[in-house]
Amino acid sequence: MWGSSIVGFGSYHYKSERSKQEGDWFITGFSPRKANLTLYIMPFISHYPGLLKRLGKYKTSVSCLYINKLQDVDIKVLEELISTAYREMKEKVKITSK
């Protein structure tokens, strides 16, 4: 658990290139918010335009994917998006937990 409402999978230590900020963060995560289901896709959701084109109805911002209802998206494509992003992050960063 990351905070009171985010389930995160895997973690890594990051250092910002633009500031002195650093810390630990999850590789992918999920939070059932009141307004929608929020999925956190690292590195950035915009890295996957082909998958997003096939996904269905959603909104995005930086690393977040917002889905109103699971029925609005193709679950197989969502699964592919999450697993691809997770795998790519594992190749880029040192995983500190799974």
| Per-chain mean pLDDT for the chain | 91
Report how far residue 63's alpha carbon sits from residue 43's, in angstroms, rounded to the nearest whole number.
Answer: 7
Question: What ranges make up the beta strands (E) of 16-98?
Answer: 22-32, 37-41, 59-61, 64-67, 95-97
Q: Is 94 a residue whose pLDDT tops 80? A: no
pLDDT tier, 43 (very low <50, low <70, confident <90, very high otherwise): confident
Residue 65's closest CA among 79, 89, 17, 90? 79
pTM: 0.86
Q: How confident is the model at residue 92 (pLDDT cuts 50, 70, 90)?
A: confident
Q: Give dist(CA 34, CA 23) in Å, integer.
A: 27
pLDDT in the model for residue 98: 61
